[in-house]
Amino acid sequence: MAQEKSVNNDDKTSVVKKLMSSNLTWSVVAFIVLIIICTIFDHGFLSLKWNTNTGGLAGPLITMIQESARYLMIAAGMTLVISTAGIDLSVGSTMAVAGAVAMQMLIGGANVWVAILCALLVGLLIGCINGALISILGLQPFITTLIMMLAGRGLAKVITSGQNADASSIPGIAPLRWIANGFIFGIPANFIIAVIIVLIVGLLARKTAMGMMIESVGINPEASRMTGIKPRKILFMVYAISGLLAAVAGLFATASVMRVDVVKTGQDLEMYAILAVVIGGTSLLGGKFSLLGSAFGAIIIAMIRKTIITLGIDAAATPAFFAVVVILVCVMQAPKVHNLSAEIKRKRALKAQSKEVAA
Amino acid sequence: MSNATANAVAGKKSVKKSRHLDPQMIPTIAAVVIFILMLIMGQVLFGTYIRLGFISSLFIDHSYLIILAVAMTLPVLTGGIDLSVGAIVSITSVVGVKMTIAGVPAPLAMVVMIVIGMAFGLLAGTLIEEFNMQPFIATLSTMFLARGISSIISTDSLTLPANNNFDWISNPIKIIDNPKIANDLTFNMGVVIAAVVVVFGYILLHKTRTGRTIYAIGGSRPSAELMGLPVKRTQFIIYFTSATLASIASIVYTANIGSAKNTTGVGWELDAVASVVIGGTIVTGGFGYVLGSVIGALVRSTIDPLTSDFGVPAEWTTIVVGLMILVFVVLQHVVTAFNKKE
């Protein structure tokens, strides 16, 4: 018993270490810097008002948090996928499909809860198809999800017959509208829902053996198979979860305007998800993940977008901006840069040595 | 889709008859058979597919895709991918047209377009080789960069001014002049450029050291490194070439269409990947042909008229293409797994 306790203590200290790890610290620093920049350009940036119409807080930070909910969802799914050394490029399309299903069903007169349930099921189904192709057939994740990204957009268009379905004038959509625009104790409801879902995923991953199994599959699927883990089940599961969470994100994105844009809903979101995960310190090579880091990453992405808008930079520039951030973050994480100082020292030592030899 | 599997079966049978045929060629053979079947089916049902006019427009309208397919073959052969080709087409065409409108002579605009392509290729190569980024992450970020910059430059549809010197690429050249336009055999310099690119790709991959190194990297990168092959340099050449070829595809496309927009080329990387995969290049690398990719590009190009003639809504095209890539990837997977067991 005593031994077990000490092991637990070790775990706890390692959790504390993880909390203090540089990636999170850097995320917080980046977040604060962005807020400072925004406040300089827009003095009312930090102001919070109580909006009596919506029954919640209002202000730039609140809209940022509202938008971050969808990034939280896809970033959580993407974290699990990436830690199995995979990738899910289809999240954006899955969002569009889920949104299209919900909107089209509402227009068709379906009950709002049925529409939400169906949207979630369709997302789960897309995730399961990805998972089946990758885990059972053994196809490469990025090819499989690239195909799904292509086909998903087509599917969204087929569902709405190529139109941008608009359900904003349909009666009885209040629950869905509340999910995206409502407030709980003054805080955006979608953000709270997203945080709860991330917490559930986090608890499942960290309080059960699931997280460890996912990591072991990411490090070496063959070795983990031999130790009795079923990599296929794990792989299938992470893509299914990713699809389901993408559907939730799709609901957030479409319900805020009660409209699905089959081309634009979820566009570029796969990139934001990857970026959130990378900012959070999860290696793209798999084997290790930090959901907390990814959650921070997701909020930072929402913050960067808000900064771009606040600074008055053309929205069209956003992708270029993010690309630069990805490149910088990846370059900073590259072993080459990490080893640079060590290498310089070694070279100096070698030079000194050769001089000694010469002398 | 049943055609694909049927052809695969047919392909397997022919393999059993002639033993010297490499089973890995099955996907390529299937693509050739599918292409011929598509043409025959179109001819029988709609009567327009084996006309010289159809063949001419197939090549003229899709010369850019053939170039992109050749470009994409190189990274895919090493098990990598270049997701930035569509965005490079977008940025180079926007810059090129904008320069021409501003009065810059067309040859100079074309040179600038190619230089931009080269720069993006070098950036991707550096990120992949110097900073250990996975190819699809590196090219995804260069894709966003290119698309973002092109959106900053202009979000309007830019039209080439009259009497621009892009005309020489798009002007049709008639070889056979029949009374009916549908029976004319025509081509333009864009087709010639595509043909030159195909020949270049063929020579690069099948006749040079670099080509053999590309196949070796695709087979097993560690082995290629242990053999002392210049893996790093070759990776640079691959991403440099594919981005440069993308800018050449952009020149051909811009000349043909006469305008540019920041949304030009959205999803073309998928069309290029589709062409390469349908053409039989294995996505894990190590096996494939440039000419296979050309066939793949033709198959991809024939899907559009065929689905529209069948009255299938345009939305379904992407699903058909997706399913087709999937079938071919699965087919390749089965073939390679089968090979390993032997």
Which H, E and C letters describe B89-125, residue by residue? HHHHHHHHHHHHHCCCCHHHHHHHHHHHHHHHHHHHH
The predicted pLDDT at position B14 comes to 47
Predicted confidence band of residue B3 (pLDDT cuts 50, 70, 90): very low
The predicted pLDDT at position B5 comes to 46
Where is average pLDDT lowest: A263-277, B169-183, B296-310? Answer: B169-183
Considering only CA atoms, which of A80, A27, A20 is closest in space to residue A297? A27
Give dist(CA B168, CA B136) in Å, integer.
36
Chain A residue with the nearest C-alpha to that of B154: A316
Measured in whole angstroms, the distance separating CA A60 from the mean position of its chain's CA atoms is: 22
Considering only CA atoms, which of A327, A226, A312 is closest in space to residue A40? A312
Q: Which of B133, B283, B322 sits opposite A330 (nearest CB)?
A: B133
3-state secondary structure of A31: helix
The predicted pLDDT at position A341 comes to 65
Q: Which of B81, B145, B152 sits opposite A314 (nearest CB)?
A: B152
Averaged over A111-137, what is the pLDDT?
91
Contacts with A174 (C-beta within 8 Å, 6 or more apart), sequence order: A112
Q: Does the structure show a pLDDT above 90 at B204?
A: yes
Higher pLDDT, A54 or B337: B337
| Cβ pair A231, A191 in contact under 8 A | no
Output the average pLDDT for chain B: 86
Name the CA dihedral angle for B47, B53, B57, B63, rounded to a multiple of 10 degrees: 110
Pairing assessment for the beta strands B259-260 and B158-159 based on DSSP bridges? antiparallel
Q: Does the structure show a pLDDT above 70 at A14?
A: no
Q: Does the structure show a pLDDT above 70 at A229?
A: yes
Measured in whole angstroms, the distance separating CA B164 from the mean position of its chain's CA atoms is: 27
Question: If you count them, how many residues does chain A have?
Answer: 359
Q: Which residues of B325-338 are buried (b: 16+ CB within 10 A; e: fewer)?
A: bbbbbbbbbebbee
End-to-end CA distance of chain B: 28
The predicted pLDDT at position B1 comes to 41
Considering only CA atoms, which of A135, A99, A134, A121 is closest in space to residue A262? A99
Q: Does the structure show a pLDDT above 70 at B8?
A: no
A206-220, B13-27, B245-259, B273-287, range with greatest mean pLDDT: B245-259
| Cβ pair B285, B17 in contact under 8 A | no
The predicted pLDDT at position B320 comes to 87
Whether residues B137 and A330 touch (CB distance < 8 A) is answered with yes
Facing residues of B159 across strands? B259
CA distance B270 to chain A (A): 7
In one-letter notation, the amino acid at residue A319 is P
Averaged over B98-110, what is the pLDDT?
90
Q: Does the structure show a pLDDT above 50 at B323?
A: yes
H-helix or E-strand spanning residue B136: helix B135-153
Measured in whole angstroms, the distance separating CA A22 from the mean position of its chain's CA atoms is: 20
Output the average pLDDT for chain A: 82
Considering only CA atoms, which of A258, A331, A143 is closest in space to residue B141? A331
| Cβ pair A215, A288 in contact under 8 A | yes
Give the relative orientation of helices B52-61 and B290-309 as an angle to the nearest 10 degrees. Answer: 120
A37-51, A134-148, B57-71, B265-279, range with greatest mean pLDDT: B57-71
Q: Does the structure show a pLDDT above 60 at A18?
A: no
Which single residue is written with the structure tokens 């996505």? B283
Considering only CA atoms, which of A142, A85, A121 is closest in space to residue A284? A85
Taking only residues 152 to 191 of chain A, the set having a beta carbon closer than 8 angstroms to any beta carbon of chain B reads 153-155, 157-158, 161-162
| Cβ pair B117, B250 in contact under 8 A | yes
The predicted pLDDT at position A20 comes to 52
Considering only CA atoms, which of A253, A198, A226 is closest in space to residue A79? A198
Which residues of chain B have a Cβ shorter than 8 Å from any chain A Cβ? 81, 127, 130-134, 136-138, 140-145, 147-149, 151-152, 155, 262, 267, 270, 273, 277, 283-284, 313-319, 321-323, 325-326, 329-330, 333
Q: How many CB pairs under 8 A join A and B?
A: 125
The predicted pLDDT at position A12 comes to 57
Give one DSSP letter per residue of A113-164, joined into a string: HHHHHHHHHHHHHHHHHHHHHHHTS---HHHHHHHHHHHHHHHHHHHTTTS-
- Cβ–Cβ contact A323 with B under 8 A: yes
Where is average pLDDT lowest: A186-190, B99-103, B298-302? Answer: A186-190
Q: Does the structure show a pLDDT above 70 at B271?
A: yes
Q: Does the structure show a pLDDT above 60 at B13?
A: no
Residues of B in contact with A132 (CB under 8 A): none
Residue A91 in tokens: 């999240």
The predicted pLDDT at position A266 comes to 80
Residue A44 in tokens: 């009312």
Question: If you count them, how many residues does chain B have?
Answer: 342
Whether residues B132 and A331 touch (CB distance < 8 A) is answered with no
Q: Does the structure show a pLDDT above 60 at B81?
A: yes
| Cβ pair A24, A281 in contact under 8 A | yes
Pairing assessment for the beta strands B173-176 and A56-58 based on DSSP bridges? unpaired
Residues of A in contact with B319 (CB under 8 A): 151, 154-155, 158
| Cβ pair B164, B257 in contact under 8 A | no
End-to-end CA distance of chain A: 62
3-state secondary structure of B164: coil
Whether residues B152 and A331 touch (CB distance < 8 A) is answered with no
In one-letter notation, the amino acid at residue A296 is F
Considering only CA atoms, which of B64, B63, B75 is closest in space to residue B241? B75
3-state secondary structure of B222: helix
Residues of A in contact with B267 (CB under 8 A): 150
